[in-house]
Each structure stands twice: as C-alpha cells, then as structure tokens.
C-alpha cells in the first residue's frame, strides 16, 4: 500500500517536471518522457514509448495528455492516470494563469503593442514550419492530396463547422481504406 | 452558464483534435472567435505566448480563454474540458490495446485524418496571414502603400528563413520578432 501511494506521488511529480520543462509541446515531450519514464524510473520500456506515440497519434487530444494518461494507467491504474495527467497539466495551468494577469495589466503599453506587432509576423512563420513538418509525416498519394485540398477549401472558404470537416475526412479515409484494402486482397488471390 | 459553455466548447475541441498542437487552431478560432471570447489577433498573440512558455498549446489556450472569460474557475472548466476526452479515450484504448492497434476502422479513419490535419492547418495559415498583414482583417489594396505591411513582411520573411533553414529555436524567433517590432514601432512612429 505504502509503495503504491509513493508510485502515484512519483507519477505526479515526474509528469509535473515533464510539463514544466517542455516548450512547444507535442513531440518535443517524447524524448523527455522516454528519459524519465524508461531510463530513470524504469516504469516502461522503450518499445512501450513507441506504442504510446502510435496511439497518441491515432486518438484525439494533445500528445502530452495522451502519453501521461497512458503511462499513468500502465504504471498504477486509473488513479495513476489521474496523477500523471494532473501533473502534466498543472505547470501550464499555473504559468498561463499568472501570464493572463500580467497581459491584462500591460497590454495597453505602447511597447507591448509594438512587440506583438512584430511577434505576429514571426508566429506566422512558426505555423508554416509546423505545416511543413506535418506534411513530411503524411503519406503522399493522390487520395491524401485530395483530402488535404478538400479540408483546406472547406475550412478556409466555407462556414462549415470544422468538426464536420474532420468527421467527413475520417469517413472518406475509412471508405477509401476498406475498398482499396479489399481490392488488394482480391488481387492477391 | 458560462462555465458550462467553456467546458463543453473545450471538450468538443479536445475530442476532435487529432495530431495535437496547431491542428486544433481552426477549431479554436471557430469556437472562440464566434463566441466573442477572443479576436483573431488575440489568438495569434497567444500562440506566441504559448510557444514561449512550457506545456502543450491545448492546455495553454484553454487555461487562457477560461481565465479571460470566467476567471480561475473558468480556467479550470475549460482545461478540464480539453483534457477529459483524451483521458477517457486513452483509458479505454489502454484496456483493449491489441484490438485497437489491429483495428481496420482506426487505420482507415487515420488515412483520412492525417491529410485532413494538413488542410486544416493550411486554412489557419491563411486566416492568420490575413490577420498579420491586413489591419482589422479587412482585405484592401491600400495596405500595400502602408509601411507596417512591409515591416511585417520583412519580419515574416526573416523568421521563415531562420526557422526553416537555420532551425533556430522558436523562442528566439519570437523574442527577435518582438525586438524588431518595438524598434520599428518607436523609430517610425507607427
């Protein structure tokens, strides 16, 4: 019992540390999780981490939350999952709450306005970089290009709710996958 | 009421974001701008804040929007909302892990979702581009005669070069963009 409680506290503290030191979120967090969870704590193996990344990619939500929940659950059940998730969320929550207060206070300053004027142009470049790295990870075939183009057109030029675009693309992918997969099976027969 | 609305809005965002990070931008823009919680410009500003602070974008933006609209309890509701779908789904997946991994349905949906995310981020790039280069999101030709447009363009081009070709850290990109913005602002009296 004593040992289990320690594991939960340990999960909370470990993921608090991971949450507090990951800038940029998402994949930037994976090496840190691997170091803490596999090398230091030996809760999971490197293979487990690869599995977690694969799962995080095919389930909704941020990778940070997905991996914290998964590692917590594997290590100490549902309570473990809660401790790890709370741990990874808390640093952001505290820091952003403090920043929200500061921003409200300083947003009317001229220097701050000029700073954000410059920052906005820089942020555009960062998002384009994110777009390019997503593109590199995506399979390159006619179907993918059509879906990407359709999602872009619907999201940029129509008022259709983004949720419906996502559902539509998932359904299109499912139909495409099942029909081409069954064709491939017939061909192999 | 606002608390429930915050929770539900971010629950929906959490449930439909695949690929994490900026994949959620169109969903956030749609929900948050339509409800009048934040302007497009404020969202872009916040992306910069999020890049310069630790933690995932999803948590950062939900905490921020929650704080601005419903105080600290609002922040708790919004953050809980964005976290809960992942939490529940991962618990289910962890229980039937092998079934999930071999599932044709999951693999099929992902065939559509991966390129969809690219299209969605592409649309976010367009709308943020408009916010950056056209004041008040109004697309007019007169902007090409104004100095701020060219300063933004110069900062954007430099940032793109340094982030893509030189792999400079995002925080340094943001900090330098801020410094150039301040210098240009005061020097030229924008």
Chain A's closest residue to B29, CA to CA, is A162
Residues B132 and B150 in one domain: no
Number of helices (H) and strands (E) in chain A: give both, helices first. 7, 0
Query: Among the listed ranges A122-126, A166-170, B98-102, B169-173, which one has the minimum average pLDDT value?
Result: B98-102
Chain A's closest residue to B53, CA to CA, is A23
The answer for residues whose C-beta is within 8 angstroms of residue A79's C-beta and 6 or more apart is: A8
Residues B11 and B95 in one domain: yes
Report the domain count for chain B: 2
Decide if B112 and A173 are in contact by the 8 Å CB cutoff. yes
User: How many Cβ atoms are within 10 Å of B189's Cβ, its own excluded?
Assistant: 7
In chain B, residues with a C-beta closer than 8 Å to the C-beta of A75 are: none
What is the torsional sign of CA A39, A43, A47, A49? Answer: negative
Q: Chain B contact for A77, CB < 8 A?
A: no
Is the pLDDT confidence value at A2 over 70? no
Decide if B113 and A173 are in contact by the 8 Å CB cutoff. yes
- Over the Cα atoms of chain B, what is R_g? 19
Q: Chain A contact for B164, CB < 8 A?
A: yes
Give the one of A126, A148, A175 whose C-beta lies nearest to B115's C-beta.
Answer: A148
Give the Cα separation of A151 and A145 in Å (integer): 10
CB B59 within 8 A of CB A66: no
Is the pLDDT confidence value at A71 over 80? yes
Residues B107 and B48 in one domain: yes
Interface test with B, best of A21, A77, A155, A168 (most B CBs within 10 A): A155
Residues B127 and B150 in one domain: no
Residues B109 and B145 in one domain: no
In chain A, residues with a C-beta closer than 8 Å to the C-beta of B51 are: 23-24, 123, 126
Residues B109 and B59 in one domain: yes
Instruction: Pick the last residue of a domain from B137, B152, B174.
Output: B137
Give the model's confidence band at A10: pLDDT under 50 very low, under 70 low, under 90 confident, else very high.
Answer: very high
* Span between the terminal Cα atoms of chain B, in Å: 41
Instruction: Pick the last residue of a domain from B121, B137, B153.
Output: B137
Residues B144 and B80 in one domain: no
Nearest Cα of chain A lies from the Cα of B51 at a distance, in angstroms, of 5
Residues B127 and B151 in one domain: no
Averaged pLDDT of chain A: 86
Q: CA angle, A111 as apex, B177 and B65 as ends, to 5°?
A: 75
Residues B92 and B170 in one domain: no
Give residue B155's domain range. Answer: 140-190
Give the one of B19, B85, B129 whose C-beta lies nearest to A124's C-beta.
Answer: B129
Residues B50 and B113 in one domain: yes
- 0.90 exceeded by the pTM? no
pLDDT, residue B182, reads: 94
Chain A's closest residue to B173, CA to CA, is A122
Residues B60 and B146 in one domain: no
Spans of chain B below 50 pLDDT: none
pLDDT, residue A186, reads: 62
Decide if A125 and B15 are in contact by the 8 Å CB cutoff. no
Averaged pLDDT of chain B: 88
User: How many Cβ atoms are within 10 Å of A168's Cβ, its own excluded?
Assistant: 17
Q: What value of ipTM does the predicted structure carry? A: 0.85
Per DSSP, the three-state class of A23 is strand
Residue-wise pLDDT tens digits, B106-138: 888 888 988 998 998 899 899 889 988 987 777
Residues B87 and B108 in one domain: yes
Per DSSP, the three-state class of B54 is strand
């Amino acid at each position: 019992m004593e040992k289990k409680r320690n594991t939960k506290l340990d999960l909370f503290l470990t993921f608090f540390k991971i949450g507090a030191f990951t800038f940029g979120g998402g994949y930037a967090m994976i090496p840190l999780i691997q170091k803490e969870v596999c090398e230091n704590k030996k809760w999971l193996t490197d293979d487990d981490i690869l599995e977690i990344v694969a799962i995080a990619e095919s389930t909704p939500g941020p990778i940070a939350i997905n991996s914290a929940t998964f590692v917590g659950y594997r290590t100490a059940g549902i309570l473990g999952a809660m401790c790890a998730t709370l741990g990874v969320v808390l640093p952001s929550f505290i820091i952003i709450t403090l920043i929200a207060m500061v921003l409200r206070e300083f947003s009317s300053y001229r220097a701050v306005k000029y700073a954000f004027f410059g920052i906005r142009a820089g942020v555009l470049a960062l998002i384009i970089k994110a777009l390019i790295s997503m593109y590199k990870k995506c399979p390159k075939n006619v179907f993918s290009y059509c879906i990407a183009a359709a999602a872009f057109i619907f999201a940029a030029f129509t008022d259709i709710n983004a949720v419906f675009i996502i559902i539509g693309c998932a359904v299109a992918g499912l139909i495409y996958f099942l029909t081409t997969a069954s064709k491939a099976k017939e061909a192999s027969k | 009421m606002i608390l429930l609305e915050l929770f539900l809005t971010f629950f929906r965002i959490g449930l439909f974001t695949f690929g994490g990070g900026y994949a959620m931008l169109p969903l956030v823009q749609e929900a948050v701008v339509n409800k009048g919680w934040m302007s497009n410009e404020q969202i872009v500003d916040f992306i910069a804040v999020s890049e310069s602070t630790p933690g995932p974008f999803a948590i950062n933006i939900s905490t921020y929007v929650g704080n601005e609209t419903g105080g600290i309890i609002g922040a708790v509701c919004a953050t809980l909302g964005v976290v809960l779908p992942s939490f529940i789904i991962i618990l289910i997946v962890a229980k039937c892990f092998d079934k999930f991994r071999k599932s044709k349905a999951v693999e099929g949906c992902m065939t559509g979702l991966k390129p969809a995310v690219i299209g969605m981020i592409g649309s976010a790039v367009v709308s943020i581009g408009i916010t950056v280069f056209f004041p008040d999101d109004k697309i007019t030709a007169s902007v090409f005669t104004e100095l701020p447009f060219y300063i933004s363009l110069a900062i954007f081009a430099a940032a793109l070069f340094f982030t893509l070709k030189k792999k400079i850290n995002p925080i340094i990109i943001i900090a330098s963009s801020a410094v150039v913005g301040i210098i240009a602002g005061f020097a030229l009296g924008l």
